[in-house]
Structures are given as structure tokens and as C-alpha cells.
Structure 1
Amino acid sequence: MQIETPPLNHQRLEQPAERRGLILVHTGDGKGKSTAAFGLALRAHGRGKRVHIYQFMKVPSARFGEHRMFEHLGVPIEGLGDGFSWKSKDLEHSAELARQGWARAAALITAGEHFLVVLDEIMYPIRYGWLGLDAVLEVLRQRPSHVNVVLTGRGAPEELIALADTVTEMRLVKHHYQAGVPAQRGIED
């Protein structure tokens, strides 16, 4: 490891534009996309901002760690799906749930009453063709100027990346699954 000298001079760039709502995308094959989005939700909620989280692949009855904590804090978190596609008994039903969930999320975004809306794992229904990319992009473009939206999931489409203000790609370097270690409660859920 190379030791670095801490920076002593930091020149702050003056920002000519006004603050506005952002579109943030967390994508890639590495772990941490949803976790990063949940961190933003906690940060916004901690500042007294109104937050709503939609999870496109989780069932409405899901009780993972994030559900328990967000419910405790009073942050709405909703499962909109019936689990991942490999667990689904009926893919057309899964697609219909995604469409219904998107209609709810789109209405909430356009209503403009929330500071931050998280669309967790929305890339799956987009990639599977269950949600039209153009419809998602249109809602993002037309949303009220103060609304921030975070979209997560592997394989973000290039059109969404182009529209986004901030895109972070989580890159897999090493994962405990590769060593045969199963999912850990409190880490993966």
C-alpha cells in the first residue's frame, strides 16, 4: 500500500446552477446498490425530508431488516412484487404486479409531495420488458423539479444512465458466495 499525504488545499468549485431534484442510479454487478439507496433515504429522513421506498422485487409481506427499521422510523417501504423471477410461479402475474407498482410509484413521483423516492431493483422489470423504459424516462423527465429519485439494479439501460445526474456502478471484486458462504441475516436482508 502506498502512503499518501492528506490534501491540504481544497479549492471549492462554485456551482452556477440552483439546487434541484436529482436522478441517481446505482447499478452494476457488485453488492451495495440497495444499501446505498437506503443510506440516502436515511440521510433525507434524518433531515426531516419526506421519503418513500418502493421495492419492485420484494413481496408486500416482506419483513427483512430494512423493512423493520424503516417501519420503526416511519418511512414507508413497500414491496411491489412476488419475489425474484426464478421464484415466481407465474411471470405474467409478476409483470402485472410490476406494472401496478410502477403506476403507484409514477403517481407518487409526479404528485411532488416527497423529497426522495427510491425505486429499488426497478432495473429487473425494465430489463424483462415488464415496464416500458420510455414511460419510466418520461416520468423522470416530467417530475417536479424538487423531487429526487434513486433507481437501483443491475444492467441500467444506457438511456437511463444518460438521463441521470449521478450514476454509480458497483463492481464485484470479491463476494463471499464465491467461497460458498451463504447469505447472512443483517448483511443481505
Structure 2
Amino acid sequence: MTADAPAPEADFDRHNAKMAKKKASRDKIMASKQGEKGLVIVHTGTGKGKSSSGFGMILRCIAHGMPSAVVQFIKGAWDTGERRLIEQNFPDLCQFHAMGEGFTWETQDKARDIAAARKGWDKAKELIRDPNIRMVLLDEINIALRYEYLPLEEVLTFLREEKPEMTHVVLTGRNAAPELIEQADLVTEMTLVKHPFRGGIKAQAGVEF
């Protein structure tokens, strides 16, 4: 048989049989998954895409007509595409609260950073407690926790004891605390393989913000 010749009919039969077996197995697994609950979701790691993934979930909520909210702990001073899109087109479905003032090396004022983080966390608690809001994105809160702008145990206790049963909370930012990872329902770690910044390329609209 030449390289361009079609595969023998037996190959297609084996493939179809394999896929049928796989589908039956997947259907059995899916049939056993009937529960629903509000999830604590963590996106962390050194790779790009943590906030982007969180905003992707927010847009899914918007598409389903599910009220949602965003609290930005670090990037609040940035004019981002996500913020423009949500505030200009979906303010009735998604509240957007930009509470941060930039990264800590930009403000160079720890007391100011702590005050901004506390203000953001107070707003986050208010939004999470609202049973009408189905998802709250806490963008870059892991950075605020890492620098101890917020007490980690306070955040963990609130999520464990006060989050409504069906509310999803997404926490993004690198260096998520091990305790947060342990408590979360879904954790994804973005791994850095290659980044144009190392080659002298600056952050660009549509890619980074």
C-alpha cells in the first residue's frame, strides 16, 4: 500500500469500535456526575493566562445571563480590554470594581497597598454574600495574599463559612498559598514555557491587556 492509498476498511472498523467503547465509558462516567455546587477556583502559576481564564469564565456567565462580578486587586489602574468590554456592554450583568492601584513596585507605599487590598476585599465579601451573583472573580488576589496585604486565614475562613452554596469564586495570581490550593475545588497552574517579554517585546493590547 502506498502512502497516499486509503486505509484498509478494517482500520476504520477498528477505529469505530475503539471510539464506540470510549464513548460508552465516558457516558457511564458522566451519568455518575449529577451534583452541582458553587466552586472555589484558583488559577495560579508563572505562565500567562490566569486572569484571561478567569475573564473567560465571567464571559460565559454573561452569555448565560448569570449575574457576576469582578474585583481587581492589582491591575485596577490599567485600562484593560476586559474592563472596557464589560463596563461598556454588560454593566447590567457584571459589576466591575477596579480597586488596585498597580503593582507594589509602582506604588512603593505598603500602607497604601494594604488599604487598597482591604477595600477590595470588603467589596469582594459584599458581592460574594449576594445570593443573586453567581460568580465573583477576584483578579490577582493571590498577589495581595502573598505580600500579606490581606490575612490569608481570614480569606480562607470566609470562603469556607460564608460563601453561598451555589456561588462560584475565582481567585487568580501567581504563588497561590498552599492552604488556598488545598481548600479549593478546582486548581489550574499555568506553566511558563516561552514568553516574548524575555525577547524584548513589551506588553501589547489584545494579548496582555
Give yes or no for TM over 0.5: yes
How far residue 112 of structure 1 moved from its aligned partner, in angstroms, is: 2.1
Runs of at least 5 residues in structure 2 that lack an aligned partner in the other structure: 1-14
Q: CA RMSD in A?
A: 1.6
User: Which AA in structure 2 matches 1:27?
Assistant: T
* Residue 65 (structure 1) aligned with residue 81 (structure 2): yes
SS at the partner of 1:181? coil
Corresponding residue for residue 125 of structure 1: 144
Task: Give the Cα separation in 2 of the matches to 1:135 and 1:15.
Answer: 35
Is the Cα contact below 8 Å between 1:25 and 1:167 reproduced in 2?
Answer: yes
Aligned residues: 184
With normalisation by structure 2, the TM-score equals: 0.83
Give the corresponding residue for 1:146.
166
SS of equivalent residue, structure 1 residue 76: strand
Matched, 1:80 2:99: yes
Counterpart Cα distance in 2 of 1:16 and 1:168: 21
Partner SS state of residue 75, structure 2: coil
More helix by share: 2
Pick from 141, 159, 184 the counterpart of residue 179 of structure 2. Answer: 159
TM-score (norm: length of structure 1): 0.92
Give the distance between the partners of 1:166 and 1:185, measured in 2 at CA.
29
Measured in 1, the distance between the counterparts of 2:154 and 2:34 equals: 27
Correspondence for 2:7: none
What is the one-letter code of the residue matched to 2:197? Answer: Y
Query: For 1:71-110, what aligned pairs fall within 5 Å after superposition?
Result: 71=87, 72-74=89-91, 75-110=94-129
Q: 4+ residue stretches of structure 1 with deviation over 3 A?
A: 14-17
Contact kept in structure 2, 1:110 and 1:139, CA below 8 Å: no
* Structure 1: gaps of 5 or more residues: none
Q: Which has the larger radius of gyration?
A: 2
User: Identity of paired residues, percent?
Assistant: 40
